[in-house]
Amino acid sequence: MFENKTTLWVVHIGKEETVPLRARDEGFICIGWTAMGDLSSFKTREQIKTAMEKTYPDWSSKKISASYGQVYRFVCEMEVGDAVVFPIKQTREIAIGRIKSAYRFMPAGDEFHALDYANMRDVEWLRFVPRTLFSKTALHSFGSFSTVSTSNDFLEETISVLAEEPHEIQVLTESVADEPLVDNEENDARQLFENAMLETEDFLLKSWVRTGAAFEHVVAAVLKAIGYTAKVTRASGDHGVDVIAHPDPLGLEQPFVKIQVKSGSSTIGEPDVSQLIGSLSEGEKGILVSLGGFSSGAHAKARNSARVSLIDASEFVALFLDHYEKLDPSWRAKYPLARVYVPKR
């Protein structure tokens, strides 16, 4: 698949909200430092460092040192055919692809030039996968603060994920980039927070995905923490309803809430939403929780019914964390988490 290739590139595109999704849909990767102009003529690290110092005279030596090596790698070291992963924050996916073109620079007047993403390479995206398919150590490596880095130790695991093969890879070392991890001092706190949230979400989702009835009990526990009375239904005869919740301790007050729970990684479509709506009696509400997300048809069906709400993986993690302190102690022991603080700049 990546014959004679030993490098796995990791590229982050995070500052502009729309660009990462376009990179996914249109097949490219891109980085900033647009003010430096077209870098095609530069061949050495020193040339790029000198150009960066001239372009950004107000930058500290630390910031220059943390940045120029990444630009050099993107322009000069990446090769056509190399493997690349791109963590997509908006969709919580990892894009796996192959570098398809040499470096190119988008000229002034192009929208990517205005967005400060004018340095580009085309990519053939081979697969978009949930983060939960990768090991914790791989995700930690992919979470580097650098815009451009390498995770060569995880190329084999990436190929295995791409081929949908089971993998049990013991990694004894982690890739370390030549340059410091932090490339923008002003974003340190934000990056630390985002990485902590991603690692927490990864930990929880890996514990829940494809656990069937076990995840139903997690959903019931969160509803109890919110203030509902909730119980898991029996495995048979539930007509697709996995949890029943009530707003009062005795379970007598309206509205009754019927929850359908999906712990698989597959996207849930419109038929499941219709099934839940069909199970609702007058005055009842429905919630569909899916760790694999929802299709556009499912969202459209839910929008047309004021009685049903959809909760995806990220939304359920947020509910779990928001009410973590009110969970029964046995659940907090099962999923031990600690509050951390990051510096506010």
pLDDT score for 269: 94
**Does an H or E element contain 212, and which?**
none
Query: Coil, strand, or helix at residue 32?
Result: coil
Is the four-CA dihedral 204, 261, 158, 178 of positive or negative sign? negative
B/e letters for 292-328, b = 16+ CB within 10 Å, e = fewer, are: bbbbeebeebbeeeeebebbbbbebbebbbebeeebe
CB atoms within 10 A of CB 246: 18
Tell me the domains of the chain and their CATH numbers: 8-183 (3.10.590), 213-334 (3.40.1350.10)
Complete DSSP assignment for 133-195: GS-HHHHHHHT-SSSEEE-GGGHHHHHHHHTT--------S----SS-S---GGGHHHHHHHH
Closest CA to 95 of 24, 30, 151: 24
pLDDT along the chain (345 residues), means of 10: 89 84 94 95 95 95 92 96 92 93 92 91 94 87 88 94 63 38 51 72 88 94 94 71 88 82 91 93 93 92 93 92 93 88 62
pLDDT score for 200: 86
pLDDT score for 294: 92
pLDDT score for 193: 65
Query: Which phi and psi angles does 32 have, rounded to 5°?
Result: -85, -135
Tracing tokens 């526990």 back to the chain, one arrives at: 221
